[in-house]
């Protein structure tokens, strides 16, 4: 059994608010497994919107992939409890802020993977991190669905880049980046001119007209799109 001092030190490294480490174990050639407990006593019911105490209906232990520690993969074993609202009495799954619903990897692990993919390709990043290519594509689709819900704010320098599924093959995701903030602001599943134009037009003229610079890959259609939708912007080749 781990000592309290060890567990406290692990919690400091883990940096997850409202989470207590109750045990850990190291499995050779696999990684570090941390057993966690959610210490929050109340939550917001997604059904009625009221603050409710945690009335346990059913335990549901899940294992979630997190950022590695050095060369060791890290897995979080946590009870994502099925709860019952004290007001409307409806059942709902506990919300864990550090992981998306129905996913088995932390948000920060996703950020790491996507950052690596931007500088490589899906196939090699999958091998390097011991995840499947399908999992990475799911991460990208999740991100794309989140980004499409909001328009960029104060976007002045736009980068148009791409992610290869396999290096050297003509299968790409298109990535739109706010270069000042170093933040992805758009993700398009197919590198087709029509889809890219439709995605950018959905931002509206109020966003596109403010863009002063577009840095883009050498694919000819990117320049065509930039000239059509952002004629005021300076075009810079990546």
Cα–Cα dist 212/41, whole Å: 49
- 196: CB partners within 8 A, 6+ apart: 174, 188, 221, 222, 225
Cα–Cα dist 197/177, whole Å: 15
Cα–Cα dist 171/168, whole Å: 9
pTM for the predicted model, two decimal places: 0.84
Tell me the average pLDDT of the chain. 90
Dmax (CA) of the chain: 65
**Positive or negative: CA dihedral 135, 141, 146, 150:** positive
Radius of gyration of the chain (CA): 22
In this prediction, residue 170 carries a pLDDT of 64
Can you name the residues that pair with 29 across neighbouring β-strands?
A: none
| Per-residue pLDDT at 168 exceeds 80 | no
Provide the 8-state DSSP code for 106.
B
CATH number of 147-237: 3.30.420.10
Lowest model confidence (mean pLDDT) among 45-59, 75-89, 143-157: 45-59
Q: What is the rounded (10 degree) CA torsion for 64, 65, 68, 69?
A: 10
Q: DSSP readout, 164-198?
A: ESSTTSS-EEEEEEETTTTEEEEEESS--HHHHHH
Name the residue ranges covered by the structural domains of the chain.
4-104, 147-237
Average pLDDT over residues 89-94: 87
Cα–Cα dist 100/102, whole Å: 6
Give the residue carrying structure tokens 């003229």: 205
In this prediction, residue 1 carries a pLDDT of 67
For residues 226 and 203, is the Cβ–Cβ distance under 8 A? no
């Amino acid at each position: 059994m781990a000592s309290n001092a060890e567990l406290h030190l692990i919690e400091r490294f883990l940096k997850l608010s409202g989470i207590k480490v109750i045990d850990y174990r190291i499995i050779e050639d696999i990684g570090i497994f941390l057993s966690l407990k959610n210490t929050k006593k109340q939550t917001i019911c997604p059904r009625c919107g009221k603050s409710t105490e945690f009335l346990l209906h059913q335990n549901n232990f899940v294992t979630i992939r997190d950022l590695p520690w050095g060369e060791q993969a890290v897995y979080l074993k946590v009870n994502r409890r099925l709860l019952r609202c004290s007001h409307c009495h409806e059942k709902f799954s506990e919300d864990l802020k550090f992981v998306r619903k129905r996913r088995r990897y932390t948000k920060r692990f996703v950020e790491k993977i996507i950052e690596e993919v931007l500088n490589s390709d899906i196939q090699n990043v999958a091998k390097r991190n011991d995840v499947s290519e399908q999992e990475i594509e799911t991460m990208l689709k999740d991100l794309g669905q989140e980004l499409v819900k909001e328009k960029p704010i104060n976007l002045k320098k736009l980068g148009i880049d791409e992610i290869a599924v396999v290096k050297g093959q003509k299968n790409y995701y298109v990535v739109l980046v706010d270069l000042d903030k170093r933040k992805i602001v758009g993700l398009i599943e197919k590198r087709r001119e029509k889809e890219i134009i439709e995605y950018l037009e959905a931002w509206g003229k109020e966003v596109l007209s403010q863009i002063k610079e577009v840095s883009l890959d050498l694919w000819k259609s990117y320049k065509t799109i930039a000239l059509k939708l952002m004629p005021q912007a300076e075009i810079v080749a990546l």
